[in-house]
Amino acid sequence: DPIAYLIGYKGFYDLELRVTPDVLVPRPETEHLIQAALDFAKQRDRVIAADIGTGSGAIAVTVAKHAPHAIVHAVDVSEAALAVAKTNAARYAPGIIFHHGNLAQPLIQTQTKVDLLMANLPYIRHDDMHLLNVSQHEPHLALDGGTDGLTLIRELLAQVPQVCNETALILLEIGAEQGSAVRDFAQRLLSPRFIDVQPDYAGHDRVVSIRL
């Protein structure tokens, strides 16, 4: 969405988020993940949440604003993306704790355990990148998911035992046909209580919910 970059803002959920070419423009599909996160957070008196690969901060900022009792951590490997996310947090949710690093590594290093792990990681197959309009304007770092599109999602799931509390909920945004692959991998790796794949408005796989 080059227009959002020109204007410098994008409406998301009920917020106006600052965006630059260093971050992905937030998309309406991600609101499915937000809704699931808020439903979970609102059932609890205290919740520690983390948004991995925060980008513009869309997930972390929206959840922190609407669940003010939650402690929210946000991680990104890109310093430039973190700068954008911090601007958005300053406006709507100044309590967010930011970390620079790869996936959940900064949380593991600080021995932070979370009840809610959220991530909209790059999930496009490397060989499909050149076919997509989005890759002409938006940062490749935020799009390229490796050979099958699931490289980073698998790496994050492998970190779950070190970063999640025993009854945590994990919410992952995925590509349209990745539901069964992510479900199978998570099942083998984590033996969770349940896994659910939720479709978006178009009926495509969009959010995987994993309950430990």
pLDDT at position 68 over 90: yes
- For 42, 61, 122, 164, 211, the CA distances from 89, given in Å and listed in that order, are 20, 6, 22, 24, 28
Beta carbons within 8 Å of 118's beta carbon, 6+ residues apart: 33, 37, 49, 50, 51, 52, 59, 60, 63, 170, 171, 172
Average pLDDT, the chain: 96
Q: What is the pLDDT of residue 141?
A: 86
Q: What is the pLDDT of residue 17?
A: 98
Q: What is the pLDDT of residue 160?
A: 98
Query: What share of the chain in percent tops pLDDT 70?
Result: 100
Indicate the pairing of strand 9-12 with strand 194-199.
unpaired
What average pLDDT score do residues 102-109 get? 98
Pairwise CA distance, residues 8 & 45, whole Å: 36
pLDDT band, very low/low/confident/very high, at 50 (cuts 50, 70, 90):
very high
What average pLDDT score do residues 40-47 get? 96
What residue has token string 């509390």? 165
Pairwise CA distance, residues 25 & 19, whole Å: 6
pLDDT at position 110 over 90: yes
Q: What are phi and psi of 135, to 5 degrees?
A: -75, -5
pLDDT at position 18 over 90: yes
In total, the chain counts a number of residues equal to: 212
pLDDT at position 1 over 80: no
pLDDT at position 200 over 80: yes
pLDDT at position 144 over 90: no
pLDDT at position 165 over 80: yes
Q: What is the pLDDT of residue 207?
A: 98
pLDDT at position 132 over 90: no
Helix (H, G, I), strand (E, B) or coil at 97: strand
pLDDT at position 43 over 90: yes
- Radius of gyration of the chain measured on its C-alpha atoms: 16
Within 10 Å of residue 150's Cβ, how many Cβ atoms? 22
What average pLDDT score do residues 160-179 get? 97
pLDDT band, very low/low/confident/very high, at 129 (cuts 50, 70, 90):
confident
What residue has token string 């490397």? 126
